[in-house]
Structure 1
């Protein structure tokens, strides 16, 4: 699950302003000028660069990472890492050799404006744009990052069992953090048992799932998230 993100056309500066205004008003966001540019658009895929946020002293750093985590101990090129690690289960990441060091020391946030999930039979898969109602456009996913010996950063997005209202689309969903949870996630101020059991579970009634037109691997543009027909499902009040 969570194999496509919607980044939109937001710049890092615009993203930083939203983070400072709505999520971390007491902290500054410093943009890493030497990071490779993040992929923008409406069809961002694993192995592309995505935006990440992580703490550094009193500030948050806005940087980018290759969306497919490679553990810090892997000695070869990132492209030679073959395990599927663009997602990691929040229930077990803390104990898996691939993720446990990042769980302890290199947590991050992966911002996006939504993600896609597919429904229906394999012969006729239907894309759905999933986002939530809140007072800013960014969804903040719980992530883990690594920095490799060549200075490149990689990341993964944590997932958990899907909430009942989107369970029919997929059994799992990304761990979507509230502003308070994002703070606790980055500074380790919540017990790990609480993180694994509760983080990302408080969005009932705020999901919006829009059925969108089928698109190809290379397609992009805002039209990809336009609802079609009567297939837009609003789970709000």
Structure 2
């Protein structure tokens, strides 16, 4: 977790009032965003939020080879350990980002019979933001990872982990690092209890895309 997510809105201008100072920037709508693909993100640079894209599979800035030479599975980072792990600790301190999404998927079942479940937040805004960490390699390549934490009770039935989804106050706090680690660990991503929607959707292939992927399936869970 989180291994696939969706983004179904076109403009940064629409995403969040926190980002309204940014000039509208077009992003690609996708209902099947996969690790190693480029994703939209926002980082802080010179004290201001900047929209960009980054490869969704974190590679630390000190890595000397090509991104494809990095073998660790780092598209997710655990909130409990990211501050100490050599791979993430510098980005935790000086490379935080936010990643817009409209929902994400989890799978249950045995190999060959796995069923996807679509998870989103019930809110009025078109998107929410994952907490992330970000790096810039020597060749200018940008990479990122989504921060995860233990799952809320309504999500535990499909997976024991979930992404850290930031509320409006935490977006600023995460990017500006205005809250200490203890506060982040105990509070970030905790604002959405009982506000998640988990629905069963039909199995789909790696390259499938489109709004039909998140339509209710109706099979018995």
Q: Deviations over 1:118-162 (max 9, x none)?
A: 123334211011001112011200000000111110000000000
- Structure 2 distance, partners of 1:18, 1:31, is 10
Counterpart in the other structure of 2:14: 17
Counterpart in the other structure of 2:125: 136
Which of 179, 201, 205 does residue 190 from structure 1 map onto?
179
Matching of residues 163-174 of structure 1 within 5 Å:
163-174=152-163
Counterpart in the other structure of 2:38: 49
Which of 148, 153, 167 does residue 178 from structure 1 map onto?
167
1:58 deviation in Å? 5.2
TM-score (ref. length: structure 1): 0.87
Q: Relative to 1, partners in 2 of residues 1:126 and 1:230: Cα closer, same or farther, differing over 3 Å?
A: closer
Aligned pairs, number: 221
1:200 deviation in Å? 0.5
8 Å CA contact 1:111–1:140 kept in 2: the answer is yes
Counterpart in the other structure of 1:3: 3
Q: Moved runs in structure 1, 4+ residues, more than 4 A?
A: none
**In the alignment, does 2:56 pair up with 1:67?**
yes
Instruction: Please list every run of 5 or more consecutive structure 1 residues that lacks an aligned counterpart in the other structure.
Output: 233-237
- Structure 1 distance, partners of 2:145, 2:28, is 15
Counterpart in the other structure of 1:146: 135
8 Å CA contact 1:65–1:154 kept in 2: the answer is yes
Q: Deviations over 1:10-42 (max 9, x none)?
A: 32xx223322x3xx16x612578xxxx965311
Instruction: Please list every run of 5 or more consecutive structure 2 residues that lacks an aligned counterpart in the other structure.
Output: none
SS in structure 2 of the partner of residue 228 of structure 1: coil
Counterpart in the other structure of 1:88: 77
- Structure 2 distance, partners of 1:57, 1:95, is 25
8 Å CA contact 1:5–1:43 kept in 2: the answer is yes
Matching of residues 154-165 of structure 1 within 5 Å:
154-165=143-154
Q: Deviations over 1:61-88 (max 9, x none)?
A: 1110000000000000111101000000
